[in-house]
Amino acid sequence: MSRSTNCFDPIANPGGMLSVAESVERILAKITQPTQIEMVALSQAQNRVLAQDQVSSFNVPQHTNSAMDGYAVCAGQFAHQASQTLKVVGQVFAGNAFNGTLAQGEAVEIMTGAALPDGADSIVIREAVQRDGDLITFSDTVNIGQHVRQKGEDIKAGSVALSAGCLIRPQEQGLLASLGKQQVAVFEQLSVAIFSTGDEVVAQGQPLPENCIYDTNRFTLTGLLQRMGCRVIDLGIIEDSQASMEQVLSRAATQADMVISSGGVSMGRADYIKQALEAVGEIAFWRVAMRPGRPLAFGSLGSTPFFGLPGNPVAVMVTFLQFVQPTLRKMMGQPDWQPHKMTAIAQETIKSREGRIDYSRGVYRINDQGELVVQTTGAQGSGILTSMVQANCLIEIKEQYSQIEAGDRVLIQPFSDLL
Ligand code: AMP
Ligand code: MG
């Protein structure tokens, strides 16, 4: 294969190191957007991506209506005059309309959500009036239009309420419901096959032999994938033998839209996974200028994208967030997705190294002065999963910094995207 046609070729990077941004760009360039569309019940549509623009054929709300319980009045008639006495000529409940037009000196008792009577332009809330028989008196000035919801103020008839490519969260489910949708067209759900590697990695339910560790990566990956709305195909722990690895990889590629492994991709390691990957697919082993997560394999098994994530439990989660998440988002129909970032004030010195991005686990909060501040969770070893448990963000220290001082502004990636 010539170098120019294989952008995964590690030899194409003479320095041997790729930046995070370059890696994401190379990966996304290989990923196509979805074409398969299906209809799903609105109640089942969370975490799916809209496949079509949603145009409303009617105004939401349909009619100008009251935002409060009170009295519908025509403030245009008595603007700027304090103390009004008006005659109550009717009552209107939500779902109904007042039959008639408000005349000079008249008011209609109205409930929240009821259509504004003809001739009325404002609402005086119930608490602001004194009622005596069919007369009401109030002394507050009335601003024309107060407590009135205009027809179409949420969604105008004929407008695009939600665009294709929009991720469906509870609020989108609500908006689609307000359009009367029972079903929506979404891109197909993705299936992702995962497996762990390493002879020292032991499944739960087994006794833990000396010098071994329980498999954590399949569980963090499963949780991350489920939160993204993917179906998970769990292939378990694959023994370190080239034959079983090749078999698993070929099978996974036909079952899943993406295959993710963890472990066995470090440089200079004689893990069978590398040989198996090279036999079954087209894979490059990268060294990414980041910590944690320097070794990363990416490529394809047939037409199925493959990620070989590092083995260390924190590195798995960090590389998932930086590389796998944007890839899955594009495959789900959100091509321009990016992690949310904010700046916060560092509360301590944080060591880093020039030339690579460090992702420290951090805790951000608002201090007594109302500022967003962040500190690390302490020890940052890439096997210390407790750091992820304590954290609510990653602190992203860019390549150009060798150290962050207390008081400096740093970028943070809040876990609220997913975790
Ligand atoms: P490797 O990339 O295979 O050299 O693994 C790097 C480190 O991560 C080693 O200490 C492994 O024991 C550990 N590791 C690899 N896979 C897992 C896993 N599934 N669960 C927990 N730790 C793992
Ligand atoms: Mg290993």
Domains in the chain and their CATH numbers?
20-36+189-332 (3.40.980.10), 42-57+164-186 (no CATH), 65-149 (2.170.190.11), 342-414 (2.40.340.10)
Q: What count of other Cβ atoms lies within 10 Å of the Cβ of residue 81? A: 10
DSSP H/E element including 374: strand 372-376
Please tell me the number of the ligand nearest to residue 201's CA.
1
Please tell me the number of the ligand nearest to residue 234's CA.
1
Task: Confirm or reject: Cβ of 212 under 6 Å from ligand 1.
Answer: no
Could you tell me the distance, in angstroms and rounded to a whole number, from the CA of residue 62 to the centre of ligand 1?
58
Task: Confirm or reject: Cβ of 266 under 6 Å from ligand 1.
Answer: yes
Rounded (10°) angle between helices 20-29 and 325-332: 30
- Which residue in 258, 275, 274, 257 sits closest to 266, CA to CA? 274
How far, in Å, CA of 203 to CA of 250, rounded?
23
Could you tell me the distance, in angstroms and rounded to a whole number, from the CA of residue 334 to the centre of ligand 1?
31
| Atom number, ligand 1, closest to the C-alpha of residue 215 | 20
Q: What three-state secondary structure class fits 314? A: helix
Residue nearest atom 11 in ligand 1 by C-alpha distance: 311
- Which residue in 352, 377, 349, 350 sits closest to 363, CA to CA? 377
Average pLDDT for consecutive 10-residue bins of the chain (419 residues)? 34 69 96 97 97 98 97 87 90 94 96 97 97 96 95 98 97 98 98 94 97 98 97 92 88 96 75 82 92 94 95 97 98 94 97 94 98 96 95 97 96 90
Task: Confirm or reject: Cβ of 293 under 6 Å from ligand 1.
Answer: no
| Atom number, ligand 1, closest to the C-alpha of residue 295 | 2
Phi first, then psi: give them for residue 185, nearest 5 degrees: -85, 120
DSSP H/E element including 174: helix 170-178
C-alpha dist (Å) from residue 197 to 126, 202, 207, 217, 243: 68, 10, 18, 10, 13
pTM over 0.85: yes
